[in-house]
Structure 1
Amino acid sequence: MDDRQGGALVVLEGPDHVGKSTQVERLAQWFRQRKRSVCVSREPGGDALGETIRTMLLGESVDGWTELFLFLAGRARHLNEVIEPALRRGELVILDRYTPSTLVYQGAQLGEEVVLQLTSLPVFRRPEITIILDCAAPLGALDTLDRFEFSGLDGWHERRVRYQILARRFGWVLLSGDGSPESVTERLVGVLAQEGIG
């Protein structure tokens, strides 16, 4: 298959501390070295409003529905201001977290099906590929001050299982994140090549 040279949205997902952010940057570097135009972003965040929402939600506790709608508002803005323009320019967009995180985190609290309905609204673009990094254990210590990590290892393993179940349900790629950063990048590049993304 010929490499897809138009815009493509690649989502990298998984529980905390499985190397997502590291691999997003390594993938971007790999493609840029091959003269591919790349846009790197993250959720929550990615633009000024998204970063404000991120700071607010990481710093204080709000009820589950408010949290969900703030995340979705930030996503809609992020898509409109950052992702869609980059895709129209033909760039490869590599995104750290997207819909799977919403289903895993907010879905566990509010109900998976209702969260799925909201995240499936037409405003929310479907990625060309979603890859879940799966590790046997966190690659670093969990932050006890981060309210999304305070549940410790038990909570981390619960979220890992939810990612695995959802990956099977929705056809996301479940990829081992164990091993050296170089070996994980090599696996990721191989998966993207199979999808014609290069």
Structure 2
Amino acid sequence: MTAPLFLTLEGIDGAGKSSHLDALEALFRSQGRAVTRTREPGGTPLAESLREMILNDAMDPLTEALLVFAARRDHIVRVIAPALARGDVVICDRFTDATFAYQGAGRGFDAQVLGRLEQWVQGQGEDGELLQPDLTLWFDLPPEVAAARLADARQPDRFEAQSTDFFRRVASGYAARAAGAARFARIDAERGRDEVWQQVREALAQRGLVPA
């Protein structure tokens, strides 16, 4: 069986990460790999229902964090874990790093509580090994630039409608999460789309995941 690969894309709203999902999927499929493409919150009928609540309904930070992890648990059990067991490439638009960035740094919620939830929800097997991505592409963009991009977007959800200060905190949360973590590849998302894609290709090639 081909070795599975768990790849996540992260970044603040407006960073442009989702615009590269089609190309990423096509790149791995061109190598003959089976690809499971998914997102968080979401990825299953239950998790998609929770996503609508998380993005649109008013709630306190603890409720928000619990719903995010409830959606994640169902997502892992029903989609991510089975796909990895088959040897698929799993491409996920956001995962737990987003929770530490948005609910942790952005909302100011207790990171230790988030860490406990992470252990409970992502623990796998008898030894409770933590399910984490093999590679995280972090699309890093100044919050002011992201805000300008979002100004022309569709009707914003309650995250997209947050202040620039909120997104500064979220960006700092991503930076803290990435510090010293070898699985992170920083992508300069302020560049043009073609240059951003080239950075993505280089990050994959450096890890031997695609031809150079």
Q: Return the offset for 1:116.
A: 2.1
3-state SS in 2 of match to 1:126 = coil
* Greater relative contact order structure (CA < 8 Å, 6+ sep): 1
> Is residue 127 from structure 1 mapped to residue 124 from structure 2 by the alignment?
no
Tell me whether 102-111 or 77-86 shows the greater mean CA deviation: 102-111
Q: For residues 157 and 204 of structure 2, what CA distance do their matches in structure 1 show?
A: 32
Report whether the alignment pairs 1:148 with 2:159.
yes
Q: TM-score, normalised by structure 1?
A: 0.88
Q: How many residues align?
A: 195
Q: Could you tell me which of 163, 173, 182 is aligned with 1:162? A: 173
Distance 2:186 2:95 in 1: 15
Please list every run of 5 or more consecutive structure 1 residues that lacks an aligned counterpart in the other structure. none
Distance in 1 (alpha carbons) for counterparts of 2:10 and 2:195? 17
Unaligned segments of structure 2, at least 5 residues? 125-129
Q: Does the Cα contact within 8 Å between 1:5 and 1:197 map onto a contact in 2? A: no
Matched, 1:81 2:81: no
Mapping of 1:58-97 within 5 angstroms?
58-97=55-94
Q: What CA distance in whole angstroms lies between the structure 2 residues aligned with 1:72 and 1:95? A: 15
Q: Report if the CA contact (8 A) 1:11-1:97 is conserved.
A: yes
**Matched AA of 1:192:** L
- Tell me what 2:205 maps to: 193
Aligned to 2:110: 111
How well do the aligned residues superpose, as a CA RMSD in angstroms? 2.1
Q: 1:73-127 deviations in whole A, cap 9, x for unaligned?
A: 1111101111111112211111100011110111133212221232133145111
SS state at 1:51 partner:
helix
Superposed structure 1 runs of 4+ greater than 3 Å apart: 142-145
Q: What secondary structure does 2:168 align onto? A: helix
TM-score by length of 2: 0.83
Q: How far is the alpha carbon of 1:5 from its aligned partner?
A: 3.8
Moved more, 179-188 or 127-136: 179-188
Identity %: 32
